[in-house]
Amino acid sequence: MTEIKSCAETEAEIEDEFSLFDDWMDKYSYIIDLSKELPPLDEKYRNDQFLIKGCQSQVWLGAEYRDGRVYFQADSDAIITKGLIYLLIRLLSDRTPQEIIEAQLESLKRIGISDNLSPSRSNGFANMLKQMKMYALVFQTKEG
């Protein structure tokens, strides 16, 4: 079994990847590329029950809890959102609830895409991060 990287390690890794680009355009092109890496969403999650409310783009998020770890799946109809989701899932999926709750994700701010994380009600992405933490909290509470 390969060692799973900690959230902080993954953050550093992502920051490294983005440090290759100094132009915002290149960063977005990279995010667009990442969107293509997102594993397909299990169709059972593609309905209103799993839709995260946000005016701008639709985001569906599913979560499963197995052996003390949370596994996320998600998709969006907007490509930049999808690329950002890919990053969030890479950071937060396959982790314990505690790790997810504690994750600060400062790196995303440093990368310079933090505008997309601003807690605006029109932003499905910010709501997605909140929802991931909610799932973690619920799983943790159920267990406790």
Partner 1 sequence: MNDKLQKIRQQFPILNCRVNDKPLVYLDNAATTQKPLSVIDRMTRYYMEENSNVHRGLHHLSQLGTAAFEESRRAFQKFLNSELAEEVIFTKGTTESINLLAFSFGEAFVHEGDEIIISVMEHHANIVPWQQLCARTGAVLKVVPVNDAGELEMEEYKKLLGPKVKLVSIAHVSNTLGTVNPVAEIIRLGHEAGARVHLDGAQAAAHVQVDVRALDVDFYSLSVHKMYGPMGVGILYGKAALLNAMPPWQTGGEMIDKVTFEKTTFGDLPYKFETGTPDVAGVLASVPALEFLQEVGWDFIAEREHALVKYATEKLAQIGGVSLVGTAKEKGGVVSFNIDGVHSSDAATIFDHFGVAVRSGHHCAQPIMARYGIIGTLRASFAVYNTEEEIDVLVKAIEKTVQMFG
Site residues (CB under 8 A) for partner 1?
Answer: 24-25, 28-29, 32, 55-58, 77-81, 115-116, 122
Catalytic residue among 55, 64, 68, 102: 55
Helix (H) or strand (E) holding 72: strand 69-76
Q: How far is the CB of 20 from partner 1 (least distance, A)?
A: 18
**Nearer residue to partner 1 within complex by CB, 50 or 125:** 125
Q: How far is the CB of 41 from partner 1 (least distance, A)?
A: 16
**Nearer residue to partner 1 within complex by CB, 93 or 127:** 127
**Tokens (6 digits) for 79:** 């490509």
Burial of 80 (0-12, 13-18, 19+ CB in 10 A): middle
Amino acid in position 51:
L
Q: Is the dihedral of CA 19, 20, 26, 30 positive or negative?
A: negative
Assess whether 7 carries a catalytic annotation: no
CA–centroid distance for 41 within its chain: 13
Report the number of secondary-structure helices (H) and strands (E) in the chain. Answer: 6, 3
**Nearer residue to partner 1 within complex by CB, 24 or 106:** 24
Q: How far is the CB of 50 from partner 1 (least distance, A)?
A: 17
Point out the residues that are catalytic.
55
